Structure 1
């Protein structure tokens, strides 16, 4: 008899009149709001304004969602194409399926384009947003809990995840993704919780490192450290999962991607230390640009 476990929700959505609201989407939204708030606080201290972050957010978030979905579609095409695929499913992101690498890449590209247009220091923005990204990813993982998806292998640990067999949650009819029959009451590794904890610890570490090394590490270093931290955690957490995924040499593709990106982030960190600019210098540039924008706005209002 199992005496301790983490229960699963009995529902993953609710309706308000004719509108169906998915908890997965609410978790993503809450994560975005948290990331914007954290980034705004850090950006303001560097000499920027909330309006600047709002404009960047309006460019980066939609681009990031599109990129995350495209990454998932490219890495799991059989879900959307072929004899057993449903192309309409591409647009149902509330059913899960957002690849972090596509999200970061497309979101960063959109943010870079806007920063270049407005003459904001991108490296400074990257350092300001890094802890917020980890918090957003942590909160977003709660959506997997509501959907009962992306959990790990069976476990006997007291914090194992117990699936329910009723309700509208995805896990109610997908107890074992690998096709095996799991006995009733089987517990699974709560990989959503592992990643939440890992990301929140990482966010706290980045903030601490940023304060301690403000005058020593070059601007952009914190973002490189964010990538290193996240990929290190994703490598072992991804290895626990049992949902279907393409493999290469017996290893899940996302594990290979995490290891490759980790190596690239280490190289980027070294390059930044050699060629990057100081945070103080870029903060001064941001303050100058903010003053110019405020002056221009004041002139337009007069």
Structure 2
């Protein structure tokens, strides 16, 4: 099969479209003919070697932690899914084969919502898993106010929508150019940066209950003060979390508590209550450009790679 692979750590120049070993569905898995795969910061963190002390990869490695496509193999023990079904889901974290390929194995999945294109579905599962995991860790419940630092990105937009579906009020930091975009998602926008607490005061007169840091811009000390304690803050982007007593949440090998969010998100999408804003869609041969765009940290929504 064809796939994007890299054989060593490095910049985006190490990515190549080439022949790769074809994966097959194991017990409890399905294999899909991939139509699209998402790009996340974790993809280029891994590719660069930034995470090698905590999450090494085997070479050659195919990037892409989520994907959407058509099921063409069903593993032992799988029920409710058949060859020919359109699905979206998560690629096994520990395996060599990711979503940027002709075929990929999924370890968690849900039916593709009718209202989503394959590109939208291909970039959804990783962010749904992360958002669900974070909301559970924060015990986010109806009536609470959630502040998202970095709300306009892929994780921020998904967390905001899933939080609103739970009955939370969501305030999100972003540049002024993204305020209108956030308002369309039902998010109360606020400009990020120093003095955030003062700008929040009129927006959340009763205070902020819980905080997600999806930006990793060194603002944890201020976010902890705003929330009233480190136990009310979760980051997915600041490796300095321990110094502030804040939980750092990341995907692990094996079953994730966020997997249950996939079918729930699919239901919300079919109700017209969940969208996947796309920042850009790149063809497979431009995977390096997709990684470079993600690394700028300025994507509004999700970056996706389409697979022919």
TM-score range, shorter chain: under 0.3
| TM-score computed with the length of structure 2 as normaliser | 0.26
Structure number with higher relative contact order (C-alpha < 8 Å, ≥ 6 residues apart): 1
| TM-score computed with the length of structure 1 as normaliser | 0.26
Q: Which structure: greater helix fraction? A: 1
Structure possessing the higher radius of gyration over alpha carbons: 1
